[in-house]
């Protein structure tokens, strides 16, 4: 690989964007890219094959525009999902629940999958668990509209059961693409299903929460799912500790207490 490319891509932020973009292509099953030789370069047809692995390793990818148009990218992901029938969950759904929020969010929440209310509305976390999530978000000093919220699976599992492995494997590449497009600074994984799907681990929540993890270079904190907190409110204090770790990372302050 030419040294001038290495120089251009020495910027760590650019490399991070580049790595995310390459992962995005790999998630789509694209393993070979073509780069155009520079105008003054050797002859030939002007194109040479380079694998996404090779690009990642050498941090070289001049052909791709690393300034991601996030809104366009999210629209493209939604279009790719289409009227999805890739797994059995489509049979019982009313709506695909894609995700909602600020495409430029620094903070992203990932849940498990839509419930009845979300399925009816086509929006994540709008039921009882969603009301609690909204309170958690506001306690962090931000609004729901400031963050981005998505799920591991985009169709409601029957009777709100946990999504099965094949359903998660089928759907999660779309979530990975959403994360790659948004590039949040912090991901909060809500509950064991989301945490395990993102981290590919199989430990209990008690062992996963309370410490930082990384999802493809993005800082990830795991905490209890709001639905679990509704069932066992005694755990809210522990969840608040997790959220405070995210707040510290993002330099967020809780809103001033209303003393009126």
Instruction: Pick the closest to residue 239 from 231, 229, 249, 252 (CA basis).
Output: 229
Of residues 125 and 176, the one with the C-beta less far from ligand URA: 125
Q: Which of 62, 124, 163, 184 binds ligand URA (CB under 6 A)?
A: 124
Using the rule CB under 6 A, give the single segment among 6-14, 20-28, 33-41, 105-113 that binds ligand URA: 105-113
Q: Which of 99, 101, 113, 163 binds ligand URA (CB under 6 A)?
A: 113
Of residues 60 and 89, the one with the C-beta less far from ligand URA: 89
Q: Give the side-chain half-sphere CA count within 13 A for 186.
A: 20
What is the number of H-type helices and E-type strands within the chain?
11, 8
163 binds ligand URA (CB under 6 A): no
164-203 mask for ligand URA (x: CB under 6 A)?
A: ----------------------------------------
Residues 205 and 195: beta-carbon distance below 8 Å: yes
Residues 21 and 178: beta-carbon distance below 8 Å: no
Q: Which of 111, 157, 163, 184 binds ligand URA (CB under 6 A)?
A: 111
Residue 256 CA, chain-centre distance (Å), reads: 30
Token pair 């910027």 is found at 11
129 binds ligand URA (CB under 6 A): yes
The bridge status of strand 212-215 relative to strand 186-190 is unpaired
Q: Which of 23, 151, 170, 195 binds ligand URA (CB under 6 A)?
A: 151
Residues 41 and 35: beta-carbon distance below 8 Å: no
Q: How far apart are CA 209 and CA 206, in angstroms?
A: 6
| Closest CB 97 distance from ligand URA, rounded Å | 6
Binding site for ligand URA (CB under 6 A): 111-115, 118, 124-125, 129-130, 151, 227
């Amino acid at each position: 690989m030419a040294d001038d490319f290495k120089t251009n891509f020495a910027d760590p932020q650019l490399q991070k964007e580049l790595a995310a973009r390459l992962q995005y292509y790999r998630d789509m099953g694209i393993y070979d890219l073509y780069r155009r030789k520079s105008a003054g370069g050797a002859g030939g047809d002007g194109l040479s094959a380079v694998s996404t692995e090779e690009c990642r390793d050498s941090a070289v990818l001049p052909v791709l525009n690393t300034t991601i148009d996030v809104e366009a990218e999210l629209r493209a992901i939604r279009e790719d999902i289409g009227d999805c029938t890739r797994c059995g969950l489509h049979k019982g759904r009313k709506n695909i629940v894609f995700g909602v929020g600020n495409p430029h969010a620094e903070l992203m929440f990932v849940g498990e999958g839509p419930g009845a209310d979300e399925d009816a509305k086509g929006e994540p976390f709008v039921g009882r668990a969603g009301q609690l999530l909204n309170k958690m978000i506001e306690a962090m000093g931000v609004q729901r509209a400031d963050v981005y919220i998505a799920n591991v699976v985009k169709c409601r599992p029957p009777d709100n059961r946990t999504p099965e492995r094949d359903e998660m494997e089928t759907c999660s590449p779309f979530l990975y693409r959403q994360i790659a497009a948004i590039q949040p600074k912090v991901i909060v994984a809500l509950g064991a299903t989301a945490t395990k799907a993102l981290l590919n681990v199989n430990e209990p929540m008690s062992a996963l929460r309370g410490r930082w993890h990384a999802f493809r270079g993005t800082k990830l904190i795991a905490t209890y799912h709001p639905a679990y907190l509704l069932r066992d409110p005694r755990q809210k204090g522990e969840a608040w500790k997790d959220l405070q770790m995210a707040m510290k990372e993002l330099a967020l302050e809780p809103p001033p207490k209303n003393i009126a």
